[in-house]
Amino acid sequence: MIMKSFLQGLLTKDPRQRLSWPDLLHHPFIAGRVTIITEPGVSDLGTPFTSHLPPELQVLKDQQVHRLAPKGNRSRILRLACKRMAEEAKRKKHQNTGPALEQEDRNSKMASGTAPLPRLRATPQEPGLIAGILASEMKSSWAEWGAGETPPAPRENQITQDCEQADPELRPEVVGQQSIDAVDLENEEPDSDDEWQHLLETGEPVPIQLKAPLTLLCNPDFCQRIQGQLHEAGGQILKDVPEDASHILPALRVLSSLLSSCSNSVPLYSFCREAGLPGLLLSLLRHSQESNSIQQQCWYGTFLRDLMAVIQAYFACTFNLERSQTGDSLQVFQEAANLFLDQLGKLLAQPDDSKQTLWRDSLMCFTVLCEAMDGNSWTVSKAFYSSLLTTQRAVLDGLLHGLTVPQLSFHTPPGAPQVSQPLREQSEDLPGAMSSALAAICTAPVGLPSCWEAKEQISRHLANQLSEDSNQLRPSLISGLQHPILCLHLLKVLYSCCHISERLCHLLGQEPLALESLLMLVQGKVKVMDWEESTEVALYLLSLLVLQLQDLPPGMEKLGNEIATLFTHSHIVSLVSAAACLLGQLGQQGVTFDLQSVEWIAAASHALSAPAEVRLIPPGRCGFYDGLLILLLQLLTQPGKGSLLRDVADSEIWTVLWHRFSMALRLPEEVSPQEEEPSLSRPQSPEPDWTLISPQGMAALLNLAVATFTQEPQLCLSHLLQRGSILMSTLKHLLSPSFLRQLGRAPQGAEFLPVVVLSVCQLLCFPFALDVDADLFRGVLADFVDSEVAAHLLQVCCHHLPLPQVELPVSLLTRLALTDLTSLNQFVNTVAASPRTVISFLSVALLGDQPLLTSDLLSLLAHTARVLSPSHLSFIQELLAGSDESYRPLRSLLGHPEHSVRARTYGLLGHLLQHSMALRGALQSQAGLLNLLLLGLGDKDPAVRRSASFAVGNAAYQAGPLGPALAAAVPGMTQLLEDPQAGIRRNAVSALGNLGPEGLGAELLQYQVPQRLLEMACGDPQLNVKEAALIALRSLRQEPCIHQVLVSLGASERLAMLSLGNQLLVHSSPRPASARHCRKLIHLLRPTHST
């Protein structure tokens, strides 16, 4: 199935939807199996798949294509066709066949110097060559449509003959409108000026198709001829001199094709500027609407259509976009857009049935203008759409008024079957153009968020009008939902407005006709053009209603099984995704539907593996796959679905799901340490494709992974323990700072960021929570270290998570640091890189009301102080001292109500006091701080007593000026010698041994410390305590008074008996260190060493 979806993506006919480079690298079929070799030392090396040729090479390429193209006899055919056209026109001019031709002759005489418009009809006696071909093609297309096939979309920039509406008899037949199918200027190779002149002066509308437009733009002769023809004929029109003004028509057609087919914006815009575009075009449009003499010409209708086609092609040029502007093209584009809106507003404000064609063409041009504005920046699009509510309000009012009046009649094109009207022609009619234009100004385009805010203002205005009971707009739009042409555009308008207005959602939920139309459309009972897209919008609109209302509109409770059938049986990915979105909403409202696991797993696999065609933003700004992921989460987390969850986790869909997720994330390719170039900086990771999976969809997928791995933990290990697996790569990327910044900027990203981070941490905790082979576990740690997970976890806590949600990441960070030294170094380096930010976070977290969080941080800091050199510990000292160096944080931690926090605080102090002279000084100078330290010696919790005795012992080691103050510790330490826990006794013994050299002999003798230590050295059941007591006695004997006491106690004899009695053996295992200490102490206590 994966291979089939890969081939299907490569063979997709539409190039915009075709699986292309480099996205195909992420397809599950080849993901991870293709190596892209780039040249070292080049940070951004293009490839033949991604690099555009420079203009000079493009010109050479076009010339080569022109040179190698087969010539055939097309030039001869063109001349023959033109000759027959002229002969036929001359013959018909002298025939008097009825009133129509008499009217044509009169119009010809009125416009002196203007050639009459000949009708190109293929008669049985002498069929025209080109006309016969076109008639055959037109007949074939009508026949195919009549057989039930949808006719193809009209070819872009195909201009047809249309004389003035006031004289319909002058309108040529369809065959005459397409006299020559296409003229290839490059391959025709006109050999003389006469042929050029004939080409430019022909009166017939000729659809020009340029095969090498860049070559033509680089030809000065061509540019001068076209520009000269435009200025000469255009100047005559502006001066109301219609003689020979019709010569502008072929120039307009060539210009239209040139603007549509040339992809190099630099020479194209230069040509437009030299030709005075678009100013000349808009001046001609304005003047043609004001001049009666021009409107009386028989070529006026054709001129308007050709002119609108050129303006439309100009608005569609890429140099109008800010990201690819050329010179002042963007400013010129904005000025032209304002001038066009002025003309459009005046046109829509003047109801005139004779101008329906101009209205339609102008609205189609306006739709293209909106598409160009959508691709521009926030500033440009906002200015444009805001003007529709202010200075250009006439345009919006005209559109709304046009949709509230009775629908205009549809005209049957010549040659069309009378039983039904072709959808292709209907789509060009005025109501369809109006609804399309209205949808263009309020529908948020996929992947272009810069214009969303501006379009929301338009949608809010429309929603307010649709919510008014006295306004006829809502009934008009609802009544058009079953119209074969208007349905799709009106659905988009309602969908956009419902996103903004909850009140409108309530009103639509109470409209029986609206719900009936939507349900019938989903059920396939309404025949509309573009049924697939219309059904998709209807499904999303129903989902939005349920989401906004948090309830089911009437009749939807019975729709579950039909939507389920659409979900499992449709092969159209966009419909499957929309159906899944609605099923998820229905499931949350308690609607039951019958879904067989085999069917929905196959449907989900197909939807995830096939190329995605995103045409509309799902409800709530969700991603294309969000509804499917939420539905999968619902289906797999229902009670009693454990076996199904296991089957899904073992199936192909699980792999496809994570590959699709990585594609949406645009996961960068991992580079092994051997291949990585140290001199090259890592490229910035690309922005995720939020149109495929939004932050909400990511949260749903990760929740599904947590539920799956909780049910099947060994499956989690099989993925996480596999180094370089798609799951591990994805999870590590989700913690990277670059991705989290992108997630925070995404719509609703800040809301779902904590869910994403916590879910990732849960998944990464699995190797620590399960029994894992040591070698495999080291591999996981190595993977974490290479990806700097420890550093990323700290950055996540500092920058992205609120304090109540940092407990799990800090716990994982602590576990990594305690397990791996490199991870600990990454933690310290991150602190050093951003000391203010990190210390601020740690200070707040340490003093918070989360005991587990505080305990984990204290363990992390204590391990840092224990393992690393003193040069890395200054930030810990700063944390404990506080900003004012009053040691308020340390006092608060030492007095914390939780014993685990107190124990870890004393442990941290114990490690710091080994190195920090500043902390020893603080214990001496800060009032009450030493008393808090000594208070832990009598704590009820044994863990606290153990840590406190450890801290006091390290404070006594080389105490210096602090030594006399530590005399207060002797009573507490002496009591700990009788503690039931061996660790506490050992720490107390060591601490008392450290106090001896500090001149505290008298205090030690007062509490009979030498006697107690001697007894412990000879009789404590724990060997480590005995060893500590021997070491302490060696230290204390340096005090003369204590030495004398030990001699008087007969310590040498007792220790000798201990040594001879072999009481320092445990399980027949000798203790060399203890024996050595014992012998040394016996030697030191001999009379020769007495003082």
Whether residue 385 is predicted with pLDDT greater than 60 in this model: the reply is yes
Report, in angstroms and rounded to the nearest whole number, the Rg of the chain calculated over CA atoms.
Answer: 42
DSSP H helices in 291-429: 292-295, 300-315, 329-348, 356-374, 378-387, 393-404, 423-426
Nearest C-alpha neighbor of 548 from the set 494, 591, 595:
494
Written in H, E and C, the secondary structure of 389-419 is CCCCHHHHHHHHHHHHCCCCCCCCCCCCCCC
Structure tokens that stand for 123 in this block: 């008669």
Q: Partners of 183 in the beta sheet?
A: 208
Q: Which residues contact 12 (CB under 8 A, 6 or more apart)?
A: 18, 19, 611
Q: What is the DSSP string of 789-853?
A: HHHHHHHHHHHTS-GGG-HHHHHHHHHHHHH-HHHHHHHHHHHHHSHHHHHHHHHHHHTSS-HHH
pLDDT number for residue 64: 66
Whether residue 876 is predicted with pLDDT greater than 70 in this model: the reply is yes
Structure tokens that stand for 1059 in this block: 């040594």
State the residue for tokens 């079929």.
Answer: 29
Residue 426 and residue 431: Cα distance in Å, rounded?
Answer: 9
pLDDT (average), residues 412-437: 56
Q: Where does the pLDDT of residue 34 fall: very low under 50, low under 70, confident under 90, or very high at 90 and above? A: low
pLDDT number for residue 1019: 83
What does the DSSP 8-state code read for residue 119? -
Ranked by mean pLDDT, the top range of 470-479, 1061-1070, 1071-1080 is 470-479
pLDDT (average), residues 865-873: 87
pLDDT number for residue 981: 93
> pLDDT tens digits, residue range 170-213?
333 333 333 333 444 444 444 444 544 444 444 444 455 555 77
Q: What percent of the chain has pLDDT over 70?
A: 75
Whether residue 414 is predicted with pLDDT greater than 50 in this model: the reply is no
The number of angstroms, rounded, from the C-alpha of 417 to the middle of its chain's C-alpha atoms is 48
- From residue 409, alpha-carbon distances to 429, 433, 487, 627 in Å are 9, 14, 17, 41
> pLDDT tens digits, residue range 1009-1024?
888 888 888 888 888 8
The answer to whether the beta carbons of residues 289 and 264 sit under 8 Å apart is: no
* Residue 208: φ, ψ to 5°: -90, 130
Whether residue 619 is predicted with pLDDT greater than 50 in this model: the reply is yes
- Helix, strand, coil abundance in the chain, percent, nearest 5: 70, 0, 30
Q: Where does the pLDDT of residue 1090 fall: very low under 50, low under 70, confident under 90, or very high at 90 and above? A: very low
pLDDT number for residue 149: 38
> pLDDT tens digits, residue range 129-157?
223 322 333 333 333 333 333 333 333 33
Nearest C-alpha neighbor of 499 from the set 443, 436, 563, 558:
443
Q: Where does the pLDDT of residue 357 fall: very low under 50, low under 70, confident under 90, or very high at 90 and above? A: confident
- Higher pLDDT pick, 1068 / 82: 82
Whether residue 908 is predicted with pLDDT greater than 90 in this model: the reply is yes
What does the DSSP 8-state code read for residue 706? H
Whether residue 514 is predicted with pLDDT greater than 50 in this model: the reply is yes
Whether residue 942 is predicted with pLDDT greater than 60 in this model: the reply is yes
Lowest mean pLDDT among 15-24, 450-459, 654-663, 939-948: 15-24
* Residue 1069: φ, ψ to 5°: -110, 115
- From residue 902, alpha-carbon distances to 207, 804, 852, 909, 948 in Å are 86, 21, 12, 11, 9
DSSP H helices in 170-239: 174-177, 185-188, 193-201, 213-217, 220-238
Whether residue 593 is predicted with pLDDT greater than 60 in this model: the reply is yes
Residue 1052 and residue 1049: Cα distance in Å, rounded?
Answer: 9
pLDDT number for residue 43: 41
Lowest mean pLDDT among 237-246, 409-418, 483-492, 864-873: 409-418
Q: Where does the pLDDT of residue 15 fall: very low under 50, low under 70, confident under 90, or very high at 90 and above? A: low
Question: Is omega for the bond preceding 278 within 30 degrees of 0, making it cis?
Answer: yes
Task: Give the three-state DSSP class for 224.
Answer: helix
Written in H, E and C, the secondary structure of 572-627 is CHHHHHHHHHHHHHHHHCCCCCCCCHHHHHHHHHHHHHCCCCCCCCCHHHCCCCHH
Query: Using N-to-C axis directions, what is the helix angle for 749-764 and 789-799, rounded to 10°?
Result: 150
Nearest C-alpha neighbor of 853 from the set 789, 911, 904, 790:
904
Residue 900 and residue 342: Cα distance in Å, rounded?
Answer: 75
What does the DSSP 8-state code read for residue 9? H
The answer to whether the beta carbons of residues 580 and 567 sit under 8 Å apart is: yes
> pLDDT tens digits, residue range 719-732?
777 767 888 889 98
Q: Where does the pLDDT of residue 405 fall: very low under 50, low under 70, confident under 90, or very high at 90 and above? A: low
Question: How many C-beta atoms surround the C-beta of residue 664 within 10 A?
Answer: 23
Structure tokens that stand for 1061 in this block: 């009695």
pLDDT number for residue 1047: 79
Nearest C-alpha neighbor of 532 from the set 570, 477, 558, 494:
570
Task: Give the three-state DSSP class for 183.
Answer: strand
Q: Where does the pLDDT of residue 896 fall: very low under 50, low under 70, confident under 90, or very high at 90 and above? A: very high
pLDDT number for residue 208: 55
Q: What is the pTM of this model?
A: 0.72
pLDDT number for residue 22: 66
Q: Partners of 1066 in the beta sheet?
A: 1069
The answer to whether the beta carbons of residues 1005 and 1046 sit under 8 Å apart is: no
pLDDT number for residue 838: 94
> pLDDT tens digits, residue range 1039-1052?
888 888 887 877 77
Nearest C-alpha neighbor of 385 from the set 488, 325, 459, 494:
459
Q: Interior CA angle at 778 toward 774 and 783, to 5°?
A: 150
Lowest mean pLDDT among 20-24, 356-360, 590-594, 736-740: 20-24
Residue 888 and residue 880: Cα distance in Å, rounded?
Answer: 7
State the residue for tokens 């205090």.
Answer: 1003
pLDDT number for residue 12: 75
State the residue for tokens 């040394």.
Answer: 1080
Whether residue 943 is predicted with pLDDT greater than 90 in this model: the reply is yes
pLDDT number for residue 910: 92
Q: Where does the pLDDT of residue 643 fall: very low under 50, low under 70, confident under 90, or very high at 90 and above? A: confident
Lowest mean pLDDT among 22-31, 249-258, 786-795: 22-31
The answer to whether the beta carbons of residues 370 and 440 sit under 8 Å apart is: yes
Whether residue 464 is predicted with pLDDT greater than 70 in this model: the reply is yes
- From residue 838, alpha-carbon distances to 740, 829, 878, 979 in Å are 17, 11, 12, 40
Nearest C-alpha neighbor of 1082 from the set 1046, 1044, 1036:
1046
pLDDT number for residue 96: 44
- Higher pLDDT pick, 574 / 16: 574
Q: What percent of the chain has pLDDT over 90?
A: 34
pLDDT number for residue 489: 94
Q: What is the average pLDDT score of the chain? A: 78
pLDDT number for residue 875: 92
pLDDT (average), residues 431-441: 92
pLDDT (average), residues 290-298: 88
Residue 711 and residue 895: Cα distance in Å, rounded?
Answer: 42
Lowest mean pLDDT among 313-327, 345-359, 671-685, 738-752: 671-685
Query: Using N-to-C axis directions, what is the helix angle for 248-261 and 265-275, rounded to 10°?
Result: 160
pLDDT number for residue 669: 62
